[in-house]
Amino acid sequence: METFSPPERLPATNLADAMADADFILIDDEVFEAEYLRAPDEYTVADDVVIEAKRGDTEIELTCAELDGAQHIGEGVFRLRSGAQLRFLSSATIH
């Protein structure tokens, strides 16, 4: 009898897929809890906030302009033009 194994989820290579279902964001080796995520689309303008995240008393906001031009550098990690590195994580990937 054959057994079924679900396919392993590969790291996303585009920003919208990476953001989907993320509970946490790793930003330059610090984990933030995702409070608001909106994948940029054709209706998003440069100053729209697309990410809000919190770590303790620290809150961050990133705009569409800050994510524009983000480069996938491997393993689901994206480098922003500012040099910051982002990785979107779900609760299942935090151990």
- CB 64, CB 45: distance < 8 Å: yes
The residue type found at 16 is A
Whether pTM > 0.75 for this model: the answer is yes
Q: What are the C-alpha distances in Å from 17 to residues 5, 32, 58, 72?
A: 23, 18, 26, 12
CA 64 → CA 2, 5, 46, distances in Å?
47, 38, 5
pLDDT of residue 9: 47
HEC letters along the chain: CCCCCCCCCCCCCCHHHHHCCCCEEEECCEEEEEEEECCCCCCCCCCCEEEEEEECCEEEEEEHHHHCCCEEEECCEEECCCCCEEEEECHHHCC
pLDDT at 21: 84
The predicted structure's pLDDT at residue 76? 84
Encode pLDDT of 20-76 as tens digits.
889 999 999 999 999 999 988 889 999 999 999 999 999 999 999 999 999 999 888
